[in-house]
Amino acid sequence: MRRLVILTGAGISAESGIPTFRDPGGVWEKYDLEQVATPEGFRRNPDLVHEFYNARRRDLLRVEPNAAHLALAELERSWPGEFLLVTQNVDDLHERAGSRRVIHIHGELLKVRCEVCGRVFRETGKIFTRTPCPFCGKPGGLRPHVVWFGETPFHLEEVYEALIRCELFVAIGTSGTVYPAAGFVEVARRAGAHCVELNLKPAENAHLFHEHRYGPATRVVPEWVREVLEESLSGSGKAL
């Protein structure tokens, strides 16, 4: 099995100190999703939405990648075949851990987009409703470069191209509740891929996976990576 697609969700970054969305104490317990993660919410109250993302950007700069991110970067460096890491996370912890082929289908927290001129640029600080775009100079057009509910995720064509060819599909730390990502396993299954779930507890779509490993990502991901690399390097195991 040389063609590998990995999907990650908030669970992989939890032990770095970034709260997940739906676990107890998660983001959607503290904030109203409709207010801070929809285009309508942004139109109604852009100050609140900027405040929410400014705080998340600040928090992201205070945390570090963990052993699970590092293990996936090592897997990419050593993997003998095609490799694609698809993440629903807007953090940059995969990149900071050394991953190179990463697709952020829900956008990136450290990027901002100008809805007037269309430029996307890196931003680590705060933005406000009237902050002018550094490129076109117009105020009022900046928004986080993240995908909100009701918007189309990014780069789906590239993701599906990889899914319909993949032989091994692994979902890590995601609740399997938000589509289209929750449906990727079905596409991979139809392609004949072996599907593995690495999670703290079973996801909503757990029944669609062939294999499950439950536990914290910093333990189960490095363990699984070690195994698949051993199998692929020995050339004898089921991973080849």
224 binds ligand OAD (CB under 6 A): no
Quote the CA–CA distance of 5 and 167 in Å, as a whole number. 8
Q: Are 162 and 101 in contact (CB under 8 A)?
A: no
Quote the CA–CA distance of 93 and 71 in Å, as a whole number. 12
Instruction: Enumerate residues 47-76 that contact ligand OAD by CB under 6 A.
Output: none
11 binds ligand OAD (CB under 6 A): yes
Sign of CA dihedral 176, 217, 111, 23: positive
Q: Which of 50, 69, 106, 145 is an active site residue? A: 106
CB count within 10 Å of CB 40 equals 12
Q: How many residues bind ligand OAD (CB under 6 A)?
A: 26
Quote the CA–CA distance of 227 and 149 in Å, as a whole number. 37
The stretch near ligand OAD (CB under 6 A) out of 9-17, 46-54, 159-167, 187-195 is 9-17
Interacting residue with ligand OAD among 1, 9, 36, 94 (CB under 6 A): 9
Of 146, 183, 192, 144, give the one whose Cα is nearest residue 165: 192
| Per-position DSSP letters for 187-217, written without gaps between them | HHHHTT-EEEEEESS--TTGGG-SEEEES-H
Question: Would you say 68 or 187 has its CB closer to ligand OAD?
Answer: 68
Q: Is 106 a catalytic residue?
A: yes
Instruction: Enumerate residues 172-201 that contact ligand OAD by CB under 6 A.
Output: 173-175, 177-178, 199-201
Provide, rounded to whole angstroms, the least separation between the CB of residue 18 and ligand OAD.
Answer: 10
Provide, rounded to whole angstroms, the least separation between the CB of residue 98 and ligand OAD.
Answer: 20
Interacting residue with ligand OAD among 2, 26, 45, 189 (CB under 6 A): 26
- Give contact residues for ligand OAD (rule: CB under 6 A): 9-11, 14-15, 20-23, 26, 37, 88, 106, 147, 149, 173-175, 177-178, 199-201, 203, 216-217
Catalytic residues: 106
